[in-house]
Amino acid sequence: MVARLLLRAWPRRPGVGPGAPRRPLSAGSRPDQYLQRSIVPTMHYQNSLPRLPIPKLEDTIRRYLNAQKPLLDDSQFRKTEQFCKSFENGIGKELQKQLVAQDKQNKHTSYISGPWFDMYLTARDSVVLNFNPFMAFNPDPKSEYNDQLTRATNMTVSSIRFLKTLQAGLLEPEVFHLNPAKSDTDTFKRLIRFVPSSLSWYGAYLVNAYPLDMSQYFRLFNSTRLPRPSRDELFTDDKARHLLVLRKGHFYVFDVLDQDGNIVSTSEIQAHLKYILSDNSPAPEFPLAYLTSENRDIWAALRQKLVNGGNEETLRKVDSAVFCLCLDDFPIKDLVHLSHSMLHGDGTNRWFDKSFNLIIAQDGTAAVHFEHAWGDGVAVLRFFNEVFKDSTQAPAVTPQSQPARTDSSVAVQKLNFKLNDTLKTGISAAKEKFDATMKTLTVDLIRFQRGGKEFLKKQKLSPDSVAQLAFQMAFLRQYGQTVATYESCSTAAFKHGRTETIRPASTFTKRCSEAFVRAPSKHSAGELQQMIAECSKYHGQLTKEAATGQGFDRHLFALRYLAAAKGISLPELFLDPAYGRINHNILSTSTLTSPAVNFGGFAPVVPDGFGIGYAVHDDWIGCNVSSYPGRNGREFLQCVEKALEDMFDALEGKSIKT
């Protein structure tokens, strides 16, 4: 099982993937076909992005030992220190030399890209819970627009507008602006577009702007992860023009782009979706979608049987569809129900292998559930934000709009699969396994209303560090120990960057947590404030190191991967129980905030862990925690709340209540 999520992702103008342009801008393209018309080409910065640095081996070892300190007792730490010294002065030095040499020969990519794809695609666990996360949209501010048909039509049209804008090279490049008053201006954009692509990154850098890697974007659409024995395959067919819709376990396809590459009229899309919503067919006895939740080798074998049984062309329509729209037949009861529905559902109405599923419940509650091998959250979050903005500010239809008078029974094709007894048995087994697994997952949520980003920034503290410190205090209070903790950080500021790990559990957080949990009365408010400030400062340092490619996790992963690829016996460093323990991430955490996001979530990455999706808003802090039997998520969140209360009390100069 692998930790994941989330944040900000080569194509050359005007196309968006390797090779030739895809759908050209048609001469008669209407303005409503695009979300925006950026004067700076989408991929303008891609060729000049800096390369992901390989850290010095001694820096990685130092950082690794710092992260191990709070997790080990003195004798364990001395053993780990010894393994590290032997590695650094021996085989590690040779592996580092080979990694650097290999990286110099592959200047078109990053040293982590290949191994990271391999890590995801060779994993044989089900993608459900183990890898795929979700992000839930906020409701449309205009309540009447949350009608399922209206919202499904608007979000579908906005999604296709995003696709067309991206493919035409008209989507604003993804840039992190440190000084938007200088860099996020029309004047700067008019100048930078004339700077050659090979130099454009440097022009942005001069005004404190950092363009981000967008190489993952071309996998957003028309893409699917295909199960294969031992190693899966990422498939993309950029010529396909149809949408895949799932409802009650049935599969439907219809074209959303015409032969010229223009979006089909919105009233027709609305009519086709209305037609699908009115289909009263009972749910299929053997819902095929369950197979995408299976172990990857089992699914690969069953898929081959599907192909051999005459379903190849039908499967091709599923795999090549622009994306998968899931229309659920029930309203969302509450946020816990929302989490379960969007993270896994009942297994019948999701194609978990698709690059993303856009899910819309009966009451218009919407979310994106995405497969993780093809990319990280950067491309998904950008798509998510743009679709929310466009569908709410420039909706294609209104609640009063009338669907086109068209024969949807001709335009919409219902896909039928030929299933033999072996496949039916396989689907039944997958369903049984799915149902049993999902019953074990618990989800709990809190909203801490006392304050958020605004208050913490006034205290000159990193809001993220305070949230992470609360998790450390909570686990210590609940279980009496400090454990391996993972926080995802994007390295999209580099060409083909993926993610790096921030290790929030430190000697600083351990000392501070023990003071708050075990002996608050022995410390003055000033002393507690000082400890929180030290944690914040160190967390800021770790975050900066991770974002600039100077963490230790990916570097060690690459060295281990290289040793295995070269047939070298695994170095003792990687056989050390402490290495296994720090990579057994009991607290797996990820944060994102956006005006479009209600919240996001994912499952724990280890059976005895917590999956923690959180967000620090201006005046409140939200936290969504998933767990399996053996861990109590509700109790953990009560401890998180207590930790936040205590810290806010200390920051306000009050004494801590026991």
Clarify whether residues 201 and 311 are in a common domain. Answer: no
Say if residue 241's pLDDT is above 70.
Answer: yes
Asked if 65 and 81 touch (Cβ cutoff 8 Å), the reply is: yes
Measuring CA to CA, which residue among 309, 297, 298, 361 is closest to residue 331? 361
Clarify whether residues 183 and 86 are in a common domain. Answer: no
Percent of the chain with pLDDT over 90: 93
Q: Is residue 23 part of a domain?
A: no
Q: What is the DSSP string of 32-49?
A: GG-S---SS-TTTTGGGP
Clarify whether residues 430 and 535 are in a common domain. Answer: no
| Cα(170)–Cα(21) distance, integer angstroms | 13
Give the pLDDT mean for 586-594.
93
Q: Is residue 1 part of a domain?
A: no
Q: Where are the alpha helices (DSSP H) in 519-569?
A: 525-547, 553-565
Question: Please, what is the average pLDDT of the chain?
Answer: 94
Count of the separate structural domains present in the chain: 4
The predicted pLDDT at position 580 comes to 97
Peptide bond into 14 cis (omega under 30): yes
Clarify whether residues 540 and 617 are in a common domain. Answer: yes
Clarify whether residues 430 and 446 are in a common domain. Answer: no
Of 408, 423, 439, the one marking the end of a domain is 439
Q: Is residue 4 part of a domain?
A: no
| Cα(221)–Cα(192) distance, integer angstroms | 28
The residue count for the chain: 658
Decide: helix, strand or coil at residue 575: helix
Catalytic residue (choose from 344, 372, 496, 539): 372
The predicted pLDDT at position 77 comes to 98
CATH of the domain at 138: 3.30.559.70
Torsion of CA 27, 32, 35, 38, to 10 degrees: 40
Burial of 107 (0-12, 13-18, 19+ CB in 10 A): exposed
The predicted pLDDT at position 592 comes to 83
Clarify whether residues 106 and 139 are in a common domain. Answer: no
Sign of the C-alpha dihedral, residues 631, 632, 636, 639?
A: negative
Q: Is residue 579 part of a domain?
A: yes
Of 120, 139, 154, the one marking the end of a domain is 120
Clarify whether residues 537 and 618 are in a common domain. Answer: yes
Q: Which residues contact 465 (CB under 8 A, 6 or more apart)?
A: 504, 535, 536, 539, 540
Q: At what angle do helices 507-518 and 633-651 cross, to 10 degrees?
A: 90
| Cα(337)–Cα(367) distance, integer angstroms | 13
The predicted pLDDT at position 481 comes to 97
Measuring CA to CA, which residue among 636, 314, 346 is closest to residue 471? 636
Give the pLDDT mean for 623-645.
97
Give the pLDDT mean for 337-349.
98
Amino acid (one-letter) located at 646? D
Clarify whether residues 391 and 529 are in a common domain. Answer: no
The domain of 89 spans 57-120
Looking at per-residue confidence, does 560 or 21 come out higher? 560
The predicted pLDDT at position 526 comes to 95
User: Where does the pLDDT of residue 18 fall: very low under 50, low under 70, confident under 90, or very high at 90 and above?
Assistant: very low
The predicted pLDDT at position 23 comes to 37
CATH of the domain at 206: 1.20.1280.180
Q: Is residue 33 part of a domain?
A: no
The predicted pLDDT at position 20 comes to 33
Decide: helix, strand or coil at residue 356: strand
Asked if 137 and 598 touch (Cβ cutoff 8 Å), the reply is: yes
Give the pLDDT mean for 162-179.
96
User: What is the residue whose two structure tokens read 């130099």?
Assistant: 199
Q: How many other CB atoms sit within 10 Å of the CB of residue 61?
A: 22
The predicted pLDDT at position 30 comes to 55
Is residue 372 among the annotated active site residues? yes
Asked if 91 and 525 touch (Cβ cutoff 8 Å), the reply is: no
User: Where does the pLDDT of residue 31 fall: very low under 50, low under 70, confident under 90, or very high at 90 and above?
Assistant: low
| Cα(227)–Cα(410) distance, integer angstroms | 32
Residue-wise pLDDT for 289-322, tens only, equals 999 999 999 999 999 999 999 999 999 999 999 9
Asked if 250 and 281 touch (Cβ cutoff 8 Å), the reply is: yes
User: Where does the pLDDT of residue 211 fall: very low under 50, low under 70, confident under 90, or very high at 90 and above?
Assistant: very high
Measuring CA to CA, which residue among 568, 476, 463 is closest to residue 514? 476
Of 407, 439, 471, the one marking the end of a domain is 439
CATH of the domain at 588: 3.30.559.10
Clarify whether residues 376 and 395 are in a common domain. Answer: yes
The predicted pLDDT at position 13 comes to 28
The predicted pLDDT at position 212 comes to 97
Q: Is residue 593 part of a domain?
A: yes
Clarify whether residues 601 and 573 are in a common domain. Answer: yes
Amino acid (one-letter) located at 515? A
Q: Is residue 62 part of a domain?
A: yes
Q: Which residues contact 550 (CB under 8 A, 6 or more apart)?
A: 53, 55, 59, 63
The predicted pLDDT at position 27 comes to 34
Give the pLDDT mean for 607-614.
98
Measuring CA to CA, which residue among 6, 151, 1 is closest to residue 624? 6
User: Where does the pLDDT of residue 71 fall: very low under 50, low under 70, confident under 90, or very high at 90 and above?
Assistant: very high
**Residue 258, CA atoms < 13 Å, CB-side half-sphere:** 13
Q: Report the alpha-carbon angle 514-518-520, nearest 5.
A: 90
- Residue 593, sorted as left (phi over 0), alpha (psi -120 to 50) or beta, turns out to be beta
Clarify whether residues 468 and 576 are in a common domain. Answer: yes
Decide: helix, strand or coil at residue 87: helix
Give the pLDDT mean for 459-464.
97
Say if residue 382's pLDDT is above 90.
Answer: yes
The predicted pLDDT at position 603 comes to 98
Clarify whether residues 339 and 378 are in a common domain. Answer: yes
Looking at per-residue confidence, does 375 or 296 come out higher? 296
Asked if 384 and 597 touch (Cβ cutoff 8 Å), the reply is: yes
365 to 90, 113, 143, 270, 360: CA distances (angstroms): 56, 35, 11, 18, 6
Q: Are strands 610-616 and 587-591 parallel, antiparallel or unpaired?
A: parallel
Q: Is residue 39 part of a domain?
A: no
The predicted pLDDT at position 656 comes to 87
| Cα(472)–Cα(515) distance, integer angstroms | 12
Give the pLDDT mean for 156-181.
96
Give the pLDDT mean for 405-422.
97
The predicted pLDDT at position 8 comes to 26
